[in-house]
Structure 1
Amino acid sequence: MSGAALLPDSSAHGIWSRLPASWMPYVQLARLDRPVGWQLLLAPCLSSTCLAAIAHAEKPRFDLLILFTLGAIAMRGAGSTFNDFIDRNIDAKVERTRQRPLASGRVTPLAAAIFLMAQCLVGLYVLLSLNLFSIFVGFASLLPVAIYPFMKRITSWPQAVLGLAFSWGALIGWSAVTGELAAPAFWLYASCILWTIGYDTIYAVQDRRDDIEAGVKSTALLFGEYLVPVVALLYFGAVVLAEVALLKAGAGLLAQAGLVAFGVHLARQVRRLVGADEKEALKLFRSNGAAGFLLFGGLLAENLLFLFV
């Protein structure tokens, strides 16, 4: 990768492998080399946008889908940069993270702060492009985003706080279409929270030994030998709550097909999680990028029907 340090869970594919080595620390800070992060942040936004349009018999809001994609990439990068800034000393003690730009000293804290502000400005542009109610909803998301990096120090449930932050798009997507919040948005938000706790628990499997040494906490450590059945329960709850959201919004068969595909994907993850090592856990976590878009795909297909009404 042009002589730049390649992180253990990053990818050398695509345009990133052609960039100058001096750019790579910032690509890594924003997690642009790991697109699954912004995909997971984006999926609730897209699904909720289509669900709201279905509920109100509106045509697809492609303008919002594009805006949310830009916003998810920017805010995922900002959140990751902030997280690395706060955790730079802990990251230096963990094998998987010690080569991150701040932990390794390849980026100074001041440079990271400037980069963080630049990404936040992109996110602010997207937010200010929405209606007034959505702007307030968006600013409210800053609370769970701000406290998340500190949670692993004080609770065994940092994944739950991540769920509150990463699922917020389920509220913003709905409000951007309707200018308000309603029951389907809250049901979808709850579904995404359980889904996030599940997949981030799988992600945390990679760090269990290092986390014990570093003195930080996670649901992967908390669940212990019951990790697989608890993740299965979380995923089952996510599917059930998503079904409630679809029913409350009056979604039809195409949306239901997307939910079935989403549920099957999660069930396959649980089956493969039995006895999984760190490498397999990373693969399973990454597969959730596709899982979220299965649900969105069904909702988008359902929403596209309104083009012909």
Structure 2
Amino acid sequence: MTTASLSLAQRVGLYARLVRIDKPIGILLLLWPTLWALWIASDGAPTPYLVFAFVLGTALMRSAGCAINDYFDRDVDLHVARTKDRVLTSGLISPKEALLVAAGLALVSLLLVLPMNHLVWALAVVAAFLAVSYPKFKRFFAIPQAYLGIAFGFGIPMAFAAVLGTVPAIGWLMLLANIVWAIAYDTEYAMVDRPDDLKLGLHTSAITFGRHDVLMVGICYVVTLAMLGAIGFMLGYGWAFYLGLVAAAAIAVRHLVWIRHREPGPCFRAFLNNTWFGFAVFAGIVVQTSVLSRA
């Protein structure tokens, strides 16, 4: 069957696969830090529209990012076992279609910030640039996961700007914490593809860290939690927030146990499980700001 003979339903199904609707982990890893910032900035009481706009905007931008990533990686993905059957790589949709899908999703997400202030608009443009440039950036940078952390965490300053009209120091510190967390979880992901990436001459943190990869993942988790703890201290948060960090630390330790033998299956499992790390931190913030502060 040629692509021209596909029905509308079949084509929509291919687009859904292009943007990873069936694999929401990427959306969640963007969403949790954004929600951390939104709840902290609003002291536990974000407006319904802001919650709606940031949740939907995160999902749309992540989906657009997947389409852009596959567009730039369509030749490389042919040589990686895990990605060779992606819809763009296998020719089920055209590169032009992938770009149109990405542009459409990005446009809708940008429309969501129109009711917000000018600072959010400016930050949204930066966020869009980060999403588009990441696939190229990872071709030459030794630890592209750091750049991914900026792209995945840019909802943080946007959330602070939407609520406060400015981005305070804790907003930038939270973004830095997210960068380090992204290095941790995406190194786990990169450990799965390391043999293929080495053959293709690509750059990843798993390759850069070499035999110290597990140690570096552990250090990144510790630094992430330390930064988040410092934010809690600066805000005067109590036991609920820190209990969330303790739960996140326990999850991180479990990941280190899983990846210690560098087997692809457990490494990928650890990567996927990072959504619970993000949720644990968020749960602590919600209880601290939305429950205890109103008790």
TM range (shorter): over 0.9
Question: Does the residue aligned with 2:167 lie in a helix, a strand or coil?
Answer: coil
Residues 89-116 of structure 1, C-alpha deviations (whole Å, 9 max, x = no match)? 1111111111111111011011112111
Write the distance in 1 (CA, Å) between the matches of 2:283 and 2:21: 23
Are 2:202 and 1:213 equivalent residues in the alignment? no
Matched letter for residue 170 of structure 1:
I
CA–CA distance in 2 between the matches of 1:192 and 1:89? 30
Aligned letter for 1:182?
A: P
1:34: Cα distance to partner?
0.6
> 2:72 corresponds to which residue?
86
* 2:52 aligned partner: 66
Q: Secondary structure at the match of 2:233?
A: helix
1:204 CA displacement = 0.7
Identical-pair percentage = 31
1:261 is aligned to 247
Equivalence for 2:63: 77
Aligned to 1:27: 16
Structure 2 residue corresponding to 1:160, chosen from 127, 135, 146: 146
Q: Determine the structure 1 residue equivalent to 2:126.
A: 140
State the secondary structure of the residue aligned to 2:92. Answer: coil
Is contact 1:60–1:300 with CA below 8 Å preserved after alignment? no
Residue 43 in structure 1 maps to residue 60 in structure 2: no
**Once the two structures are superposed, what CA deviation does each residue of 1:162-217 show, in whole Å capped at 9, x if it has no partner?**
01110112211211111101111111111110000110010011111111122211
Give the aligned partner of residue 103 of structure 2: 117
Q: Structure 1 residues 214-223 or 252-261, which shifts more?
A: 252-261
User: Hey, what does 1:202 align to over in structure 2?
Assistant: 188
1:242 to 209, 224, 228: 228
C-alpha contact (below 8 Å) 2:225/2:245 kept by paired residues: yes
Deviation at 1:277, TM superposition (A): 1.0
Distance in 2, matches of 1:308 and 1:224, equals: 48
SS for the counterpart of 2:88 is helix
How far, CA to CA, are the matches of 1:184 and 1:250 in structure 2? 12
Q: Aligned to 1:92, what secondary structure does the other structure show?
A: helix
Q: How does 1:266-305 map to 2 (within 5 A)?
A: 266-305=252-291
Please tell me whether the aligned partners of residues 151 and 157 of structure 1 are also in contact (alpha carbons under 8 angstroms). no
Q: Matched residue of 1:128: which SS?
A: coil
| Aligned-CA RMSD value | 1.8
Which has the higher mean CA deviation after the structures are superposed, 80-89 or 276-285? 276-285
Q: Is the 2:110–2:124 contact (alpha carbons within 8 Å) kept by the matching residues of 1? A: no
Normalised to the residue count of structure 2, the TM-score between the two structures is 0.92
Q: Which residue of 2 aligns with 1:12?
A: none
Aligned twin of 1:223? 209
User: 2: distance between equivalents of 1:28 and 1:53?
Assistant: 35
- Alignment of 1:102 onto 2:88: yes
TM-score between the two structures when normalised by the length of structure 1: 0.88
The DSSP-based 3-state class of the residue aligned with 1:127 is coil
- Is 298-307 or 103-112 further displaced after alignment? 298-307
| Unaligned 5+ runs, structure 1 | 1-18
| Cα distance change on mapping 1:60 and 1:110 into 2, 3 Å | closer
Return 275-284 or 253-262, whichever deviates more: 253-262
Provide the C-alpha distance between the structure 2 equivalents of 1:252 and 1:59, rounded to a whole number of angstroms: 18
* Alignment check: 8 A CA contact 1:60 1:303 kept: no
